[in-house]
A = this chain, B = another copy of it.
Amino acid sequence: MARKSTAVDPLRLDNQICFAVYSATHAFNRVYKPLLDRLGLTYPQYLVMLVLWERDDVPVKEIGEKLFLDSGTLTPLLKRLEAAHLVRRTRSREDERQVLIALTPQGHALKEKARSVPQSILAASECSVSELVAMKDEIVALRDRLNAVIGE
């Protein structure tokens, strides 16, 4: 037959890795939702808290570099975390342009309640740790190549 096989049609939705990644992001979000509701966090807020639990008193810029987000996203998000008494925002004294983000005691304490989250996600993925690590490394490598092209 003369028709092009749908299996290799480059415009077919099911053939697009970007849609696989896009829809997997939403699937993760839906699994995280009930877990993070108990912590009073959204998923992007949870990511910011992961950064802060690793290192505290960090400028907005640095959070943005780690999460690939800009101030247009982070400023209002951080204000909501401040309103929830999880972080404090203070101008740096050495460089008044920077705003430093520090955890409050409640912010630190929330880490303990968060410890069970990764395990629940692992269970939901029905996947071995080694498989997930391998996939993660492949996806990160792809992401970094894509990001490199943007800077070109």
Contact = CB atoms under 8 A, between A and B. Distances in A.
Contact of A138 (B10, B11, B31, B135): B135
Given A10-B119, A54-B13, A145-B126, A24 B139 contact: yes
Contact of A111 (B11, B19, B32, B132): B11
A2 interface: no
Given A11-B111, A145-B124, A67 B23 contact: yes
Contacts of A22: 25, 28, 43, 47
Interface residues of A, number: 55
19 contacts: A11-B114, A11-B118, A13-B47, A13-B66, A15-B136, A17-B125, A18-B121, A19-B50, A21-B21, A21-B25, A21-B139, A22-B25, A23-B67, A23-B68, A124-B145, A124-B149, A125-B145, A135-B139, A135-B142
